[in-house]
Amino acid sequence: MRVVIVGQGYVGLPLAVRAAQVGHTVVGFDVDDERIKRLAAGESYVDDVSSAELQEILDSGAFQPSSDPRSCAGFDVAVIAVPTPLREGTPDLAYIEESARTLARYLRPGATVALESTTYPGTTADLVAPLLEEGSGLIAGADFFLGYSPERIDPGNRQWNLVTTPKVVSGINEASLGRMQAFYGSVVEQTVPVSDCKVAELAKLLENTFRHVNIALVNELAVFAHDLGIDVWEAIEAASSKPFGYQKFVPGPGVGGHCLPIDPSYLSWRVQRTLGQSFRFVELANDINNHMPDYVVRRLVAALNRQRKAVNGSAVLLLGLAYKKNTGDARESPARRIASLLLDMGAEVRAADPHVVEDAHVDQRVVRVALTEEQIAAADAVVLLADHDAFDLDLVVRHARYVLDTRHRLTGPIVESL
């Protein structure tokens, strides 16, 4: 089939590559000209896609990156995988709307459009369908097919990737569901059909809200346990020995990526707007997780004070700018707020992260460095924020004066865990 993937980021690019690898002819469409130039040159900026994989499908002619809307013409299947940010607490679906309008100009009878972008229940049927109908003159479910399949990309996860992770699929009617299963069944190992697009949209928000709430629980517990003089990490390991009724979550410096800082708020916003009620679990989790970077800074300030040092003028080395280990994804990363707070307090902030190559999500005042013995020894404090496998943590312990470890990876007299 001729497949168009709108959006070539952490979701769209792996899908485009996989679709090309299994035999589809794929157009990777993105309005970002710089991204398209890098893709055309065989350069991948996404951890889950190697440049070698990208070059192979470029050479075969199976993949065409493009920023020209006309390249979308003639598609059999089109997938919308664009960002859905929050603007002052309100979902911004402008990228979805623009994508739907673009695809509508090239929509043909019998074609299928799939939405993957995370959003609130009702978006596929109430927003995307009317835009496609208006721009094409065709009727959704009769002339063309439409469905929703939430992305489940976990950057850097080698076990559960696009192919091995079960894919929830839905359609606005039975015929649409059949087309969705046919396409996604060609690129993933297992599809999970559900009865309605709203069910699939809610399922995605449920997955992320579950994680968000439980991470907030252990984050708040970590704060209180420290004040009570209890090792929260040992308590978590002890609780994890229970073989039923418990799932392990661990504290950290905050949450990042698109899923946890943003997605649960879509559900909260929808509940408030539609039902006039507050989704209290989400709002509480937001409050706790959003303030973890502030707590990390307070702990660092207290540690420097014990050494009779002010933050103003201290050299602080941050290890990890990504929001999680072994990925270059720095979207909404807690490292950015931690760096900004320290810089505003007068600290000299340096950061090491071999995975984060784009500086768009990094405070421009941060000095990027490699993790070396000299950089470690020169820092008044080292803060481990993302425990990348590429980091030589033994080197850190040997040469650091003080380490605040937010991931519980280090031990020693100069190490303090979150």
Q: Which residues are catalytic?
A: 259
**Letter for the amino acid at 237?**
E
Would you list the DSSP string of 214-256? Answer: HHHHHHHHHHHHHHHT--HHHHHHHHTT-SSS-------S---
Beta carbons of 212 and 264 less than 8 angstroms apart: yes
Q: Count of residues for the chain?
A: 418
Rounded alpha-carbon distances, angstroms, from residue 379 to 26, 69, 156, 317, 382: 48, 50, 29, 6, 7
Residue type, 107: L
Q: Which residues pair with 115 in a beta bridge?
A: 80, 148
The CA distance from 110 to 277, in Å, is 41
- Closest Cα to residue 89, out of 283, 361, 284? 283
Tokens, residue 363: 């405070």
51: which residues sit within 8 A by CB, 6+ positions away? 42, 43, 44
Give the DSSP letter of residue 125: I
The answer to whether 3 and 27 have CB atoms below 8 angstroms apart is yes
DSSP assigned state of 111: -
Q: What are the counts of helices (DSSP H) followed by strands (DSSP E) for the chain?
A: 15, 16
- 208-210-214-217 Cα dihedral, nearest 10 degrees: 100
- Classify 315 as helix, strand or coil: strand
Report the C-alpha gap between 260 and 270 in whole angstroms: 16
